[in-house]
Each structure stands twice: as structure tokens, then as C-alpha cells.
Amino acid sequence: MEKTNGEVLYFLLSLLLSIFLFLPISECGRAQAMFIFGDSLIDNGNNNFIPTIAKANYLPYGIDYGFPTGRFCNGLTVTDYGAKLLGLPFPVPYLSLQSKTTQILQGVNYASAAAGILDATGRHYGGRISFNGQIALFEKTVTTQLPFLIPNLIKLSDYLSSSVFVINIGSNDYINNYLLPNLYSTSREYTADAFADLLISNFERQLKSLYMLGVRKMLLVGIGPLGCIPSQLYQHNSTDGSCIEIVNKQVSLFNERLVPLLLKLNSTLQGSFFVYENIYDTFVDLVQNPASYGFKEKNQACCGSGKYGGQLSCLPLQVPCAERDAFIFWDSFHPTQAANKIVAERCYSPLATDCLPISGYMLAQL
């Protein structure tokens, strides 16, 4: 009998856990800092400093933070909550840093809205720092900035190997590349399977680059059910608010390849440990059972224009919904801080189950 995707995923993660029990993990102990790579889901201000239309440095973004910071949310992101749960400070945006500041020791956020695994992704927004670009900035941090703060090479290596690296990238390679056939040719050049293969092969090379720079503890976030976000509901003219299944199936192809990649890297990159955050199933559960999480609106953006708030994302000084904690989605693309808090707790808490084979909290303690 053919196994379902869920059964295959369970088997692979069980195998990953068995590998974990025998891995030569670094003995440096609790994470000293968090380093973040990704896109607008966790960008906390880098795009404020580059010429791009992908910005969130205006109200009502940040309305529940107290002021706009560049976060694409009404308040905190998943990694903000994750850092809090790990007892770590919020990593500062890389582009806001002075070259020799000691703030670097508390971790750095390299994430950039509109960024993707592929360099071309998001180009219609103008400036953005692709994942390759973020890795290049991290290399600069490791080779020229951190040695000034930690001159001892052994201590520097221990610092990097004990820190947690969160990588949340890939969504834009679909919603701002593959799923925009009028602007990008990828959907004509690649089948959905071939495109997922392309992303994974690039992603593997990029993760190995981070490993070569001293990174050891990596938390890789899968792609969420993009067919459920307001922008896709609007684009596909969903009549009843149901998720667009063809989109969800396409992004699932990436996730299905991500766990085997983790297995491969864990078994070949000595001293490394990779954790998978299954954000896809978490968000499907939120959308299918909103009331059980305290939400009243499952597919309507709190701040946006058009059907589902998916035609145009949150505009400057636009009046958002009043009950923001009752909405899963803040704007056309991004969750509210209420949804982000739930996602973070299901990964970064000590007994969390959505990060596998161990929680983000456990990863930080290795």
C-alpha cells in the first residue's frame, strides 16, 4: 500500500531522531545568540535601509509594537517570540548596525522582505537581500566583525557553534516568482516538481556555505500553506474562502524534499544538527479550526483592500481592524502577532511538538 505524505514524513523524522541520538553535538551548551535569515515573515527592519517598495516602516504596521519598525506585522514576529522563549534578546537588523558594535554578540537578523532562495525572486519589488546576499553579509560578520569582538579563534568557533540559526526562506520563490507567470518565466520552464528540485538543490548549497562558516545548529522553517493567504484567495477568486489547493500542493513539494535534505546534512556534516519546523500543518490547523485558537476570522486580512483584503496589502495610515487578535492574517501575506505567538510556542517551548525531531528550545540547549 502506498504511504501518504504524512506517513512518509513521520518515518523520515523518526529516522532523523535516531540519528540525533548518535550525533557528536558540540558541548558548548546553551545558545548564546540567535541569528536569523529569511524574508518578510521575520524581517525586523533591514528593508528600511534599501531602495525597495517592500517596506513596512509606516503605520499601521507596528501598531501593537508601539511604533513601526519594519516588521510586516501589527506587532511581533515568530522569531521575536522565539527569542523571548529562549531567553535571548531580539537580534538587531544587520543593516542598522555599526561595524564594531557589541550588539552583534546578541545575534543578528539578516532577513529581507521579498527575498528568496533564488536571486531573481522578488525583483519586481526593487531592492532586497536574497538568501545568497544574506549569507554574504554573514560571512562579513564572521570574517571581519566578530573577530574584532572575539579575537580568540577557539572562543569564536564555540560562540558560533552554540548559537541558534533560524532560516525561514522559500515562500517568495513561489508567491513572488513561480506563481507570477506574467513577471517570471519559471512556471513555463519548470514543472512544479522540477521547481521544487531546483529550490532544494540551491538551498542545500547555501546551507553548506553556512556550515563552512561555523554554523552548527540550524532551525529550518518549512513553507506554509500559501494557498490560504488572502492574496492567493483574491488572485484565484475564491468564492467561499477555501484555500487554493493547487498552490498548497505546489509548495508541499518543497516541504516533502526538505526533510530528506535534513537527514542527508545531519549525517554528512559532522557536528551539525538541523531541526525542521512544520509550519505548514500548524497554519492549516489554524485556518481549519480558528475558534479553538481564539480567532474569529480565518481568511480575512486585518489590514488590506479588496476581497479578503488580498488585492492590496496594508497601505500607509490605513485603518486596520479593531480586534486584531481575532484575525489570523494581518495583511495580504503575513500573520498577526497573535498567530505568530502560537506558532512560536509550538516550536520554541520546552515540550513543543511542531519542531522535529526536537524543539527549538532543546536545540538551543545542545
- Res. 23: pLDDT tops 50: no
Catalytic residue among 272, 313, 334, 354: 334
Whats the size of the chain, residue-wise?
Answer: 366
Q: Which residues pair with 340 in a beta bridge?
A: none
Residue 280 class from Cβ within 10 Å (0-12 exposed, 13-18 middle, 19+ buried)?
A: buried
Separation CA 268–CA 261 (nearest Å): 11
Are 131 and 169 contacting, i.e. CB atoms less than 8 angstroms apart? yes
Read off the pLDDT of residues 48-97 as tens digits, 9 standing for 90 and up: 999 999 999 999 999 999 999 999 999 999 999 999 999 999 999 999 99
Q: Give the pLDDT score at 21.
A: 47
Catalytic residue among 39, 43, 80, 331: 331
Read off the pLDDT of residues 127-150 as tens digits, 9 standing for 90 and up: 999 999 999 999 999 999 999 999
Q: Give the pLDDT score at 98.
A: 80
Q: Which residues pair with 217 in a beta bridge?
A: 164, 273
Question: Which helix (H) or strand (E) covers residue 135, if one does?
Answer: helix 131-140
Read off the pLDDT of residues 95-110 as tens digits, 9 standing for 90 and up: 999 867 899 999 999 9
Grid cell at residue 262: 535534513
Are 312 and 332 contacting, i.e. CB atoms less than 8 angstroms apart? yes
- Res. 22: pLDDT tops 80: no
Catalytic residue among 40, 231, 313, 359: 40
Are 277 and 355 contacting, i.e. CB atoms less than 8 angstroms apart? yes
Residue 50 class from Cβ within 10 Å (0-12 exposed, 13-18 middle, 19+ buried)?
A: middle
Q: What DSSP state is assigned to residue 4? A: P
Residue 40 designated active-site = yes
Are 137 and 54 contacting, i.e. CB atoms less than 8 angstroms apart? no
Residue 334 designated active-site = yes
- Res. 15: pLDDT tops 60: no
Q: Give the pLDDT score at 12.
A: 58
Decide the pairing of beta strands 164-168 and 312-313. Answer: unpaired
Grid cell at residue 64: 501593537
Residue 325 designated active-site = no
What mean pLDDT, rounded, does the chain reach? 93
Higher pLDDT, 98 or 160: 160
Dihedral (CA of 259, 261, 264, 266) sign = negative
Give residue 16's pLDDT band: very low, low, confident or very high (50, 70, 90).
low
- Res. 6: pLDDT tops 90: no
Q: Give the pLDDT score at 1.
A: 40
Q: Give the pLDDT score at 101.
A: 87
- Percent of the chain at pLDDT > 70 equals 92
Grid cell at residue 266: 545531519
Q: What DSSP state is assigned to residue 206? A: H
Give residue 155's pLDDT band: very low, low, confident or very high (50, 70, 90).
very high
Separation CA 58–CA 46 (nearest Å): 14
Q: Indicate the CATH number of 30-226+245-283 among 3.40.50.300, 3.40.50.1110, 2.60.40.10, 3.30.70.270.
A: 3.40.50.1110
Read off the pLDDT of residues 270-303 as tens digits, 9 standing for 90 and up: 999 999 999 999 999 999 999 999 999 999 999 9
HSE of 23, CA atoms in CB hemisphere, 13 A: 25
